Chain A
Amino acid sequence: GAVVSQHPSWVICKSGTSVKIECRSLDFQATTMFWYRQFPKQSLMLMATSNEGSKATYEQGVEKDKFLINHASLTLSTLTVTSAHPEDSSFYICSAREPPTYEQYFGPGTRLTVT
């Protein structure tokens, strides 16, 4: 099946700094990518949907100025957590949709810890 990678797999940053997470579709072109967040012992919650070449659509309650999403190419989407705070510590998972089947493949996730 199609492969989605994320980098880094884990990151620790200090409060107030920004961190960028990359999501790549390795063997297919993804016109749509999704970013999820998962807190301990909870399910995945969709943060935003990004379409290549256009602005991301954010879910209600997700601050678009804090979580910057860029989907500049058909194989790469990035999530930047700006001015990170400890409450942003979470497991961030991206997913990419493969046309024309529209099947959705998930990345391995990135563990963010803000100290």
Chain B
Amino acid sequence: DAKTTQPTSMDCAEGRAANLPCNHSTISGNEYVYWYRQIHSQGPQYIIHGLKNNETNEMASLIITEDRKSSTLILPHATLRDTAVYYCIVRGTLNYGQNFVFGPGTRLSVLP
């Protein structure tokens, strides 16, 4: 079972920041938080991942709370092409034998 909970859906205005929350209250110390997204009829696309520090790349920023029980993915300037299902996944460094377990994710709709 997925170890994360996310809102089912969210809307965001084009050009505004999209903030997608994720709860992972049972995360353990060696588990990373990963974010993927899936645009309709495509495979999942890697966005970003982090352990405890905030991370930023060309796609997004990841803010992880100090207790690591939740995180927020930030798309700073959402475009229509960012409309997708966003998955928050936790995976440990000691269980590489495990694959990614996908929950239902958050369906983000970017509105013009």
Contact = CB atoms under 8 A, between A and B. Distances in A.
Contacts of B46: 1, 103, 105-106
B41 A93 contact: no
Nearest to B103: A43
Chain A interface extent, by class:
20 to 34
A46 B103 CA distance: 12
Main SS class of interface, A: strand
Nearest to B42: A108
Interface in A1-27: 1, 4, 6
B96 A108 contact: no
B102 to A, nearest CB: 4
B44 A44 contact: yes
A77 interface: no
A103 B104 CA distance: 21
A44 B46 CA distance: 15
Contact of B99 (A1, A6, A49, A107): A49
A4 B45 CA distance: 11
Interface of B: 36, 38, 41-46, 87, 96, 99-105
24 contacts: A1-B46, A4-B43, A6-B43, A42-B104, A43-B102, A43-B104, A43-B105, A44-B102, A45-B102, A46-B99, A46-B101, A93-B43, A95-B100, A103-B46, A104-B99, A105-B46, A106-B36, A106-B43, A106-B44, A106-B46, A107-B43, A108-B43, A109-B41, A109-B43
Given A97-B96, A104-B100, A108-B43, 5 more contacts: A4-B43, A44-B102, A103-B46, A105-B46, A109-B43
